Structure 1
Amino acid sequence: MSIRATTSLGGTASNVTVGKVAHGLMMMTWAPEPVPDEQCFEAIKAGVDALPPGTKMFLNGGEFYAHDLTTTNLEMIARFFEKYPDYVDKTFLSIKGGVKPGTLVPDGSPANLRRSVELINEKLRGTKRLDLFQSARVDPNIPLEESIRALVELKNEGKLDHIGMSECSADTLRRGNAVHSIAAVEIEVSPWEYGEEARKVIATAEELGVAVIAYSPLGHGFLTGQIKRLEDIPEGDFRRSMPRFQEDNFKHNFAIVDALTAIARSKNITSAQLSIAWVASLGKHVIPLPGSSHAKRTRENCAGGDVELSTEDITEINSVIGAGAARGGRYTHEAYLWG
């Protein structure tokens, strides 16, 4: 399989060409049972191998992507690059950090950002540069400008190459970019998560020349149609607590999936590819970030970036989204969203 669709990142990374579809690595290590290394490695390689020469795969990991919020994800990534050093230059590695150790509470203080970046580099063991660092959330207790300046200092010391932001508003993106050029901003975007805040961030990012990394384009797997009831989600999986997966919202939300699946069938593609293609259609600078722990699924997701939707297709999808807006919040605790 060969993928054609590519794009470029933004800001200081605007010279970096990446596949139009990125690859999220979170659930490789945040699943109830971590996925075996070789399965993870094959899933990563599958996406990279499908790209045109000279194009990098945007990989997204996290300092705390594990059930116990430890560095399991980083250690898996380091083992991948140790085993497959030929893939180092074929990938662009983005890592989220910047939380208080052992928690998901944002801490954008210069001291904690230094701790986070240095820990990430320690766990990567020199196998791969930290291409892009993002604070996972915007800390409401520290001036954003102070946090960005701290990252600029770390960049100048050679400890990271580019600065990103995550779960920010259009206003905070503009403020961060005023201190230092932001290469990419990560927000949740999918056919059931495309509200006013997301639209504002996407528009502002286009104006500023910033790439948008659109995570969960498949609605945490719901939009694939594979999850037909709550019991289809394994025990211990964090999605079991998400409001949109609860019984009182499930039936309504699955009607959206059914409608999108029907459109996908008419185009002879999967519902996952339809969702990815729709997110990709929101702008040249918008890069869908689905997660995958299976090589076959990675290839399917990447092929979604090559799907061309007509104006009529997009109108039909938008009518489904507009008529059946998803019920339930994104997370049980939403305190730090759109920081």
Structure 2
Amino acid sequence: MSTIKQVKLGSQGLIVPALGLGCMGMTTGFGGDIYGKADEKEAIATIHRSFELGGNFLDTADIYGPFLNEQLIAKAIQGNREKYIIASKFGFEIDGNGQATWAFNGSKAYVKKAVERSLKNLGTDYIDMYYLHRLDTNTPIEETVEAMGELVKEGKVKYIGLSEVSSETIRKAHQIHPLTAVQSEYSLFERQIEELGILATLQELCIGLVAYSPVGRGFLNGTIQKPEDFDENDFRKSIPKYQGEQFYKNVELVNEIKKVAAEKNITSAQLAIAWVIAKGHTPIPGTKRVKYVEENIAAAAVLLTQEDLNRLESIIPLGTITGDRYDVASMKGVNL
């Protein structure tokens, strides 16, 4: 029985649950094992439990694995494809041996190659929501989006979007083919797209925001209180946001958010997700465990008043320095 309200994502006709399920951590390889070891059986059980609760909007990408994540989803949804809304992404170039080259490729030829590969890996003949994962600065965005628009005409893709792009890129793209959504990192802890005016551009053009890492890569759940709480190989240790003096400043902010959550008898992770939903956006918290998907979906029922939003945003006002969300090299690939 569905427990999640349905919302419009963008203005092109796509209806999705108020929150989706980020599947990146469910497999090994790139994007996998970053928050602990992945377990296929538990991951599939998580997808199925999410579905039982109305959470049928799954987010993946060809680079996760590479390919392993899409293949896992194919296994999980087998026989029920039409009951799920599948979003995938392309743009990180993957060579013929299935290895990531770490170059970005948005050329028309690569768009066509990537979609056929994803359709095969997902075991389907259409993808509901298809994003360009990162901008290829060597290919005009108009060329990339024109090729994505052709996929819509061919029925291979229903809706298109971009990820981690600037207002200028969004405007150029939207003129070629209507965008349904843009995917970017967005949370109480990470509001750069608001500061840069990107969010205002999306609202002006009636394009939806799909917010990844709405719980600040798990940091907003409040369990990390000292650097030693990270596992030895936890990739978050490489992120400036969670290093040095900034780490301790951020812990102080999280502890204030925990107080608000405790008053409402919910977790701080649920409060963080509810905040994104209350702002009118679609979060896709990632998990690979049944317990957490149940907790995340319950957050969709949390109602926050304007007073609640004001209080949370007074703890972390717009413009608060919480540290960069990627290392220097990776930051060069966002908001282009």
What is the TM-score with the length of structure 1 in the denominator? 0.89
**Residue in structure 1 matched with residue 97 of structure 2 by the alignment:** none
Q: Is residue 293 of structure 1 aligned with residue 288 of structure 2?
A: yes
* Contact 1:188 1:198 (C-alpha < 8 Å) held by counterparts: no
* Displacement after TM superposition at 1:72 (Å): 1.1
- Pairing 1:126-205 to 2, within 5 Å after superposition: 126=124, 129-195=126-192, 197=194, 200-205=197-202
**Residue in structure 2 matched with residue 5 of structure 1 by the alignment:** 5
**Residue in structure 1 matched with residue 75 of structure 2 by the alignment:** 79
5+ residue gaps in structure 2? 95-99
* Displacement after TM superposition at 1:215 (Å): 0.7
5+ residue gaps in structure 1? none
Alpha-carbon distance in structure 1 between the residues aligned to 2:214 and 2:318: 19
Q: Is residue 337 of structure 1 aligned with residue 330 of structure 2?
A: no
Alpha-carbon distance in structure 2 between the residues aligned to 1:165 and 1:338: 11
2:7 alignment partner AA: T
In structure 2, the CA distance between the partners of 1:162 and 1:198, relative to structure 1 (3 Å rule), is: farther
Q: Is residue 92 of structure 1 aligned with residue 122 of structure 2?
A: no
1:57 alignment partner AA: N
SS at match of 2:48: helix
**Residue in structure 2 matched with residue 312 of structure 1 by the alignment:** 307
* Displacement after TM superposition at 1:325 (Å): 2.6
Alpha-carbon distance in structure 1 between the residues aligned to 2:69 and 2:4: 29
Alpha-carbon distance in structure 1 between the residues aligned to 2:75 and 2:299: 28
* Displacement after TM superposition at 1:156 (Å): 2.3
* Displacement after TM superposition at 1:236 (Å): 3.2
Q: Is residue 302 of structure 1 aligned with residue 300 of structure 2?
A: no
1:288 alignment partner AA: P
* Contact 1:97 1:134 (C-alpha < 8 Å) held by counterparts: yes
**Residue in structure 2 matched with residue 275 of structure 1 by the alignment:** 272
In structure 2, the CA distance between the partners of 1:326 and 1:7, relative to structure 1 (3 Å rule), is: same
* Displacement after TM superposition at 1:271 (Å): 0.2
* Contact 1:252 1:326 (C-alpha < 8 Å) held by counterparts: no
**Residue in structure 1 matched with residue 121 of structure 2 by the alignment:** 123
Alpha-carbon distance in structure 2 between the residues aligned to 1:4 and 1:132: 20
**Residue in structure 2 matched with residue 240 of structure 1 by the alignment:** 237
* Displacement after TM superposition at 1:197 (Å): 4.5
| Percentage of identical aligned residues | 34
* Contact 1:2 1:50 (C-alpha < 8 Å) held by counterparts: yes
Alpha-carbon distance in structure 1 between the residues aligned to 2:296 and 2:278: 15
**Residue in structure 2 matched with residue 59 of structure 1 by the alignment:** 58
C-alpha distance after superposition, 1:65-99 (max 9, x if no partner): 13xxx2111111111122xx23x223211101112
* Contact 2:77 2:84 (C-alpha < 8 Å) held by counterparts: no
**Residue in structure 1 matched with residue 49 of structure 2 by the alignment:** 46
* Displacement after TM superposition at 1:199 (Å): 6.4
* Displacement after TM superposition at 1:222 (Å): 0.3
* Contact 1:63 1:97 (C-alpha < 8 Å) held by counterparts: yes
Alpha-carbon distance in structure 1 between the residues aligned to 2:156 and 2:6: 27
SS at match of 2:127: coil
* Displacement after TM superposition at 1:319 (Å): 0.6
* Contact 2:91 2:105 (C-alpha < 8 Å) held by counterparts: yes
2:8 alignment partner AA: S
> What is the count of residue pairs matched by the alignment?
324
- Pairing 1:191-270 to 2, within 5 Å after superposition: 191-195=188-192, 197=194, 200-270=197-267
2:263 alignment partner AA: S
* Contact 2:191 2:318 (C-alpha < 8 Å) held by counterparts: no
* Contact 1:109 1:147 (C-alpha < 8 Å) held by counterparts: yes
**Residue in structure 1 matched with residue 20 of structure 2 by the alignment:** 22
SS at match of 2:266: coil
* Displacement after TM superposition at 1:316 (Å): 0.9
Alpha-carbon distance in structure 1 between the residues aligned to 2:5 and 2:188: 20
* Displacement after TM superposition at 1:132 (Å): 1.4
* Contact 1:187 1:198 (C-alpha < 8 Å) held by counterparts: no
Alpha-carbon distance in structure 2 between the residues aligned to 1:248 and 1:191: 19
* Displacement after TM superposition at 1:129 (Å): 2.8
* Contact 1:136 1:166 (C-alpha < 8 Å) held by counterparts: yes
In structure 2, the CA distance between the partners of 1:103 and 1:232, relative to structure 1 (3 Å rule), is: farther
SS at match of 1:202: helix
